[in-house]
Structure 1
Amino acid sequence: MKYMLIMRSSGEPAPDGGGASYEDSIETMSRYNEELVAAGVLVAMEGLSDDPTESVVVDYAQTPPVATDGPYGEAKELFGGYWILDVASQAEAVEWAKRAPLTFPGVKVEVRRIASIDEFPQENPWIQRERAWREATGQL
Structure 2
Amino acid sequence: MKYLMMVQGTQADYAAMGGTASEGSPAWTQEDVRAMYAHMTALNKDLTASGEMIDGQGLAEPARTRFVTLGVDGEPVVADGPYGETEEVLAGYRTLAQCSTLQGGGVGHPAPGGPEGRGFRAGSPCPTTWLSDLPPDGRDVRPAGAVYDRFSPVGSGP
| Global fold match (TM > 0.5) | yes
Identity %: 18
Instruction: Letter of the 2:65 partner, please give it.
Output: S
Farther off after superposition, 51-60 or 104-113:
104-113
Asked if 1:52 is matched to 2:52, the reply is no
Q: Distance in 1 between matches of 2:36 and 2:100?
A: 29
1:87 alignment partner, SS class: coil
Q: Distance in 1 between matches of 2:44 and 2:83?
A: 32
Asked if 1:114 is matched to 2:131, the reply is yes
2:63 alignment partner, SS class: helix
Residue of structure 2 in register with 1:6 after alignment? 6
Question: How do residues 77-116 of structure 1 correspond to structure 2 at under 5 angstroms?
Answer: 77-87=88-98, 91-92=102-103, 96-102=108-114, 103=116, 104-105=120-121, 107-116=124-133
The verdict on how the C-alpha distance between 1:89 and 1:96 changes in structure 2, with shifts beyond 3 A counting, is closer
Residue 120 of structure 1: CA displacement? 8.1
Instruction: Letter of the 2:41 partner, please give it.
Output: S
Q: Distance in 2 between matches of 1:23 and 1:89?
A: 27
TM-score, scaled to structure 2: 0.60
1:28 alignment partner, SS class: helix
More strand by share: 1
Any gaps of 5 or more consecutive residues in structure 2? 17-23, 141-158
Q: Distance in 1 between matches of 2:34 and 2:100?
A: 33
More helix by share: 1
**Greater RCO (Cα-Cα under 8 Å, separation 6 or more):** 1
Any gaps of 5 or more consecutive residues in structure 1? 124-140
2:127 alignment partner, SS class: strand
Residue 58 of structure 1: CA displacement? 0.2
CA displacement 1:3-62 (0-9 Å, x = unmatched): 00011124455665357422222111111111101111101110012x321221101363
1:108 alignment partner, SS class: coil
TM-score, scaled to structure 1: 0.66
Q: Distance in 2 between matches of 1:89 and 1:115?
A: 18
Please tell me whether the aligned partners of residues 5 and 126 of structure 2 are also in contact (alpha carbons under 8 angstroms): yes
Farther off after superposition, 71-80 or 12-21:
12-21
**Cα RMSD between the aligned structures?**
3.3
Q: Distance in 2 between matches of 1:73 and 1:80?
A: 13
Residue 96 of structure 1: CA displacement? 3.7
Task: Give the paired residue count.
Answer: 120
Residue of structure 2 in register with 1:127 after alignment? none
